[in-house]
Amino acid sequence: MKLAILGSGFIARFYADALVGHRRKDEISIVYSRTLANAKKFADDYKVPNFTDSIEECVSHKDVDAVVIALSNDMHLEAVLACAAAGKHPLCTKPLGRNAKEALEMLQAVEKANVTGGYLEDLVYSPKVLKSIAIIKNGSIGEVIWAKSRETHPGPHSDWFWDKEKSGGGAIIDLGCHCVELCRSYIGKNIKPVEVMCWADTRLHPIDAEDNAVGMVKYENGAIGQFEVSWSFRGGMDLRDEVMGTEGTIWINNFLRTGFEMFTTGKSGSYVAEKAESDSGWLFPVGDEVNELGYNHMFTDMFEAIDNKKQPVENFYDGYVVNAILDAAFLSAKTKKWEPVKIEDWRGVAEKKNEKEMTSYDEDYYLIKEETLPSGEKKFILKNKKTGSIEKR
Ligand SMILES: NC(=O)c1ccc[n+]([C@@H]2O[C@H](COP(=O)([O-])OP(=O)(O)OC[C@H]3O[C@@H](n4cnc5c(N)ncnc54)[C@H](O)[C@@H]3O)[C@@H](O)[C@H]2O)c1
């Protein structure tokens, strides 16, 4: 795959590390940045043969099949439209839009231009999450009835994130987009998200957007996806998920506690891990950040999808659904009510009702709970099917 990269900041470098860090056939042909100096620096660092300060020149370059969009949120729509006009496949970082209206425009543009829109939601491709999704698909934890995803850190690294106009919101749009898509992936992306209840507040920073939020997304089958986000969490970047199924449970810690701990007096002052707040004392590095954050698997899926004319696992439709859920979360935070998720063009299962089958103990009783006591005695809590009375046996 021959690639262009739009942007030369924080995520553009993570992407380039994934793209050129190992021997792969894919090549970055050209990089765009607002200033030629930044574009040249990036090109020098990653041995990219061309650089420019023009988006149009970058996306229409002859040696470009797909364009990795690593620009601030307010530039995603313009960049995607430029790719569609040039007939190139846009692979856009998260969140797809600042709201569902922008995301829908991007989705429609790629479908009209017949190019593949890849949504670069890396955390769904982290090795632990990929494995968890496979575990859920093989039925090991039964039906997922509740999934929780948390992303909290001390706040982003660039000015535009903190400007609501440019970013589209605060911690909800920046971090909630990951959490919402992780929960959708656990619960089942075919199941329709129907309504959202969200608390959000600006607790610490002099900004218009929220720096803390908790939300619940209700799905048509009754499942709940819960997100917890913060830009004021101290102690690094906390990425944790919990999935509760009818037959099992999954707990994931993607970052702060990966089983890798070290102590240093801090004399070297070296980089530890993304958003680490300290470089001395007991620290929690991450073995291979690029891989553990999902970037390698993500690009492999994107390129295979383009080669095989299929949709990647994370595509522009997913980005649009995430934005629609987040729009409802923003509204709910204002109205303090459950707000409907408005998806114009639902492509999942038509209707999945919340109808659970009760487990029978025998002809007359349902089984509520079975437990072995310390004495070894077995205890059964039962419900009479006719009278509804609850009894122990
Ligand atoms: N895990 C992830 O997937 C992840 C992590 C971090 C950031 N991101 C996303 O990546 C995007 C960029 O974030 P970042 O952390 O690299 O930010 P950054 O500030 O480090 O880089 C932003 C880039 O956009 C360019 N830019 C900003 N405003 C522009 C404008 N008006 N016109 C043209 N170019 C402009 C900057 O010059 C820079 O190259 C955002 O959408 C962010 O949400 C994703």
pLDDT given at position 122? 98
Residue 351 has pLDDT above 80, yes or no: no
The answer to whether residue 2 scores a pLDDT higher than 90 is yes
How far apart CA 281 and CA 277 sit, in angstroms, is 11
Atom of ligand 1 minimally distant from the CA of 35:
37
Q: Is the CB of residue 73 less than 8 Å from the CB of residue 166?
A: yes
Quote the pLDDT of residue 245: 97
Confidence of residue 357 (pLDDT cuts 50, 70, 90): confident
| 27-38 mean pLDDT | 98
CB of 79 closer than 6 angstroms to any ligand 1 atom: no
Region 11-39: what's the mean pLDDT? 95
**Ligand 1 pocket, residue 154 CB under 6 Å:** no
Q: Which two tokens stand for residue 267?
A: 């004399």
Distance CA 69, CA 7 (A): 7
Q: Which atom of ligand 1 is nearest to the CA of 12?
A: 16
pLDDT band at 256 (very low <50, low <70, confident <90, very high): confident
CA of 372 to the centre of ligand 1 (A): 55
The alpha carbon of 235 and the centre of ligand 1 are apart by a number of angstroms equal to 23
Determine the Cα angle at 92 with ends 91 and 97, to 5°.
145
Q: pLDDT at position 114, please? A: 98
Please determine, for residue 71, whether its predicted confidence score (pLDDT) is greater than 90: yes
Global pTM value: 0.96
Task: Write down the pLDDT at residue 330.
Answer: 98
- Of the residues 5, 6, 10, 51, which should be mutated to test ligand 1's pocket, given the most ligand atoms within 8 Å of the CB? 10
Give, using CA atoms, the residue closest to atom 19 of ligand 1.
Answer: 158
Write the pLDDT tens digit of every residue in 122-137.
Answer: 999 999 999 999 999 9
Q: How many Å lie between the centroid of ligand 1 and the Cα of residue 229?
A: 19
Ligand 1 atom index nearest CA of 159: 19
The span from the CA of 224 to the CA of 264, in Å, is: 42
Query: How many angstroms separate the alpha carbon of residue 106 from the centre of ligand 1?
Result: 18
CB 117 within 8 A of CB 106: yes
Q: How many whole angstroms from 143 Cα to the centroid of ligand 1?
A: 37
9 CA distance to ligand 1 middle (Å): 6
The pLDDT value given to residue 384: 97
CA distances from 70 to 41, 46, 63, 224, 298 (A): 16, 15, 19, 31, 14
